[in-house]
Chain A
Amino acid sequence: MANEYVVPRVPTVDRVAADERAAKFATRSIKTTAKAAGLKLVVSMIDLTTLEGQDTPGKVRMLCRKARRPINHDDCPTVGAVCVYPPMVPVAVEELKGTDINIAAVATYFPSGQATLEERVDEVRRTVELGADEIDMVISRGAFLAGEYGRIFDEVAAVKEACGKAHLKVILETGELKTYDNIRLASQIAIDAGADFIKTSTGKVAVNATMPITLVMLETIRDHFMKTGKMVGMKPAGGIRTAKQALRYLAMVKETLGDAWLSPDWFRFGASSLLNDVLMQIEKQRTGRYHSDRYLSIS
């Protein structure tokens, strides 16, 4: 099978120039009305996440309630989704009943993906049955680095099938693929195999989401859209902790993919500590002054 796979042709990526372009978005000045609207958009795009060995039902409940009502007034949207390990999905289902908040679960033997395809697909099927709306899978980075691109295509396609109605986010773990050329190719393979979203990272390795890595992935999405008319979503995850960072990502989305992607349907932030920093800024916009972080609930 793998031998017959035709590796997609993707443009090469010049690292220096890509880094330079990404840095330009950080010079955009986002103030007043743009900042106020942008902050709310960011909240609506957050996949509020807890992915720890120490996660308990109590912790997940706390997270879900924060997701439903991030702050103690109504002038703030709910987050896009909560993101948990499969065993925690039932807890989230119960807590998020009656809301628009999606339940995302990491499956396919997250974060390493080191299991047989059967085991991984089976985990996906069971997780969807538990009530997950979105599946965040990991690709086999080892297989990719070994040049077995067909295997990556096949595993994404198999997981997509197992997802049924649930949306599939494909984590490339860009911090392990290292080069922008690898990231560009892996993005294309994942999209070709049926990814609804492509996602940078598990949050479990040294380098997680960065602006240039996200840019390379956004450009892959753009090229695919121009060729096929099919939209694919993007989720940078890990390392985005401040409102300022998040607004820069929004500027990058706005200027690379345009207005259609400025929506939680097509762009998400995988983050846990980002929400409170954004809330702090929203309160600053609302009241004209900063309050201490003691006024923000932890999640």
Chain B
Amino acid sequence: MGKQSTKSVKDLLFGDLWEYAPAPQGTDFVELDERYGHYIGGEFVGLDSEETFDTINPATEEKLATISVADEATVDRAVKAARKAYDNHWSKISGAERAKYLYRIARMIQEKARNLAVVETMDGGKPIKESRDVDIPLAAAHFFYYAGWADKLDYAFPGATIKPLGVAGQVIPWNFPLLMAAWKIAPALAAGNTVVIKPAETTPLTAMLLAQIIDEAGLPPGVVNIVNGAGATGAAIVNHDDIDKVAFTGSTQVGKIIQRAVAGTGKKLTLELGGKGANIVFDDAPIDQAVEGIINGIFFNQGHVCCAGSRLLVQENIADEVIAKLKQRMSTLIVGDPLDKNTDVGAINSREQLDRITELVGSGVDEGAQKFQPKCALPDTGYFFAPTIFTDVTPSHRIAQEEIFGPVLSVLTFRTPDEAVKKANNTPYGLACGIWSDKGSKLFRVAGALKAGVIWGNTYNKFDPTSPFGGYKESGFGREGGVQGLLAYLEVR
């Protein structure tokens, strides 16, 4: 100004003039065992099993611990423990008594939040700011919320008589390990069921820390049983004769296998499967906030989110502006060490997932879509993938149809609200959609026409224990969260 020279630039420059210094979260207080088994009947068992696998830190590819695999006999033991706890104790005590334990678990998750967040990030690769600010607080919130229902079940469904189901077999994914455990365990216990739960094989550690919390909380033995393993262990749970209810979160492919397996058995089933969420941006949207919502919708947790807004449907008359702003915003994303407090996009959860993302992105290029990735240096070791958007995408492209489950956004355009709805619904999935418009009447009309279980208006990826979550079509059935989440664990008469 005044006495100083002024130079103009041609494009915004997101460079290194003033760089954030590394701000790594310390890990020295984290105490992990070298070997983890299972938690069955109130005891930590299975440390001697012959079959094991390693869980690694996907950001460094270093081994964190050796995990035992539960075979059919071990699963049987867990189900028997759950049955015994259900028959002899858990189904007999009052709701207020069950609530006491759930509140205790919730408080202990809060007390140990830092440790849980760091382990979650080490084992899964998600940025520490997300495990710290989202995963762990929400996990605690879920226990608090369902603790509140435990003694009020008689009022949850007026006019109906309710009963717990019995023993629930639960299989959860690797994208939100502790949070998914909370989503499964809290409503099941509140409703009076006991559980056998299997965490994902790439992210077993926070489940084992949760087992320690449950143990310290003095939950009666057998009410929660945690077994480790991969698909075969999951199948042993699903196919066990004495399971009354199966709850699964994961891929649509596996969901279909499970649904076939339980057909005719009398087991109740809820499935929360894949998605290909549409984020619909109308020309009257608050553009800058919409861009932020698109970023959050697809790059939150590296896009390892079943409800990710992986298809951007933007009105054609603002597409250029939105895409330009999106590219600018992507240039400011910090990709790298998940333990750094400033990291926005962390590590891909596993080599297998990285390969799948790479393959699908390759197909996008081959099929003629335009790929954009911001300039960002990826770490030399570990599984990383640069934030990616594809423009010139048509609905027939694989990247517009298949769930990529990575930081990859496909951009499509539309002309009218009706066309937006048609395109958004043009998918076998139906989990989540976002709508961005300043016009309330349009927002609600479009929301009513979308076939998806979760619709966000002028926001995205917002989660709350009071709000039911679940899918239409091949995204599954049943709801988790809210009073509706209790239905999955109750017999209503």
Contact = CB atoms under 8 A, between A and B. Distances in A.
Interface stretch (B142-150, B191-199, B249-257, B283-291): B283-291
A48 to B, nearest CB: 15
Interface in A143-163: none
A184 to B, nearest CB: 9
Interface stretch (B5-13, B28-36, B72-80): B5-13
A69 interface: no
A249 B252 CA distance: 44
Nearest to B25: A29
A196 B1 contact: yes
B21 A262 contact: no
A196 to B, nearest CB: 7
Interface residues of A, number: 49
B458 interface: yes
B289 A229 contact: no
Q: Is the interface of B mostly helix, strand, loop or mixed?
A: loop
A74 interface: no
Q: Which one of B1, B19, B332, B341 has the greatest number of beta carbons of chain A within 10 Å?
A: B1
B1 A259 contact: no
A193 interface: no
B292 interface: yes
| A-B CB proximity, top 6 nearest | A133-B2, A17-B289, A29-B23, A259-B17, A14-B286, A29-B341
A222 interface: yes
A178 interface: no
Given A17-B293, A21-B289, A257-B12, A262 B18 contact: yes
13 contacts: A12-B438, A17-B293, A20-B292, A27-B133, A30-B20, A30-B21, A34-B20, A41-B18, A102-B3, A219-B288, A226-B12, A250-B18, A260-B12
A35 B21 contact: yes
Interface string A256-274: 0111101011000000000
B25 to A, nearest CB: 9
A133 B438 contact: no
A262 B288 contact: no
Contacts of B13: 258-260
B12 A133 contact: no
Contacts of B6: 231, 265
Given A30-B20, A259-B17, 10 more contacts: A11-B285, A13-B288, A20-B292, A27-B129, A30-B23, A167-B1, A230-B8, A250-B18, A259-B13, A260-B12
B324 interface: yes
A258 B14 contact: yes
B292 A259 contact: no
Contacts of B342: 28-29
Q: Which one of B12, B14, B289, B292 has the greatest number of beta carbons of chain A within 10 Å?
A: B289
A225 interface: yes
B343 to A, nearest CB: 10
A196 B19 CA distance: 27
Given A28-B20, A167-B2, A230-B8, A17 B286 contact: yes
A13 B341 CA distance: 29
A124 interface: no
Nearest to B331: A258
Given A14-B286, A257-B12, A258-B14, A34 B1 contact: no
A229 B10 contact: yes
Q: Which one of A17, A30, A102, A134 has the greatest number of beta carbons of chain B within 10 Å?
A: A17
What's the interface size class on B, roughly?
35 or more
Given A12-B286, A13-B286, A102-B1, A229 B8 contact: yes
B459 interface: yes
A27 B16 CA distance: 19
A27 B132 CA distance: 11
Contacts of B17: 254, 259, 262
Nearest to B129: A27
B21 A33 contact: yes
Contacts of B19: 34
A177 B322 CA distance: 27
A117 interface: no
B15 interface: yes
B265 interface: no
A133 B3 CA distance: 8
A1 interface: no
Nearest to A38: B18
A133 B20 contact: no
Interface string B21-53: 101000000000000000000000000000000
B4 interface: yes
Interface in A10-47: 11-14, 16-18, 20-21, 27-35, 37-38, 41
Contact of B15 (A197, A230, A259): A259
Contact of B4 (A21, A30, A34, A265): A265
A246 interface: no
A238 interface: no
A233 B1 CA distance: 9
B4 A100 contact: yes
A257 B14 CA distance: 8
Contacts of B133: 27
Interface in B288-347: 288-289, 292-293, 324, 332, 341-342
A4 interface: no
Contacts of B1: 102, 133-134, 167, 196-197, 233, 264-265
A294 B317 CA distance: 60
A254 B302 CA distance: 23
Contacts of A35: 21
A255 interface: yes
Q: Which one of B4, B288, B324, B458 has the greatest number of beta carbons of chain A within 10 Å?
A: B288
A17 B23 contact: no
Interface string A208-233: 00000000000100100110011101
A18 B288 contact: yes
A13 B289 contact: yes
A166 interface: yes
A41 B18 CA distance: 9
Contacts of A102: 1-3
B409 to A, nearest CB: 18
A205 B258 CA distance: 63
B386 to A, nearest CB: 18
Nearest to A102: B2
A71 B404 CA distance: 56
Given A11-B286, A102-B2, A231-B9, A17 B14 contact: no
Contacts of A27: 129, 133, 341
Contacts of A41: 18
A24 to B, nearest CB: 9
A133 B292 CA distance: 38
Contact of A17 (B16, B20, B324, B458): B458
A257 B458 CA distance: 24
Given A229-B10, A255-B14, A21 B20 contact: no
Q: Which one of B20, B292, B324 has the greatest number of beta carbons of chain A within 10 Å?
A: B20
B2 A166 contact: yes
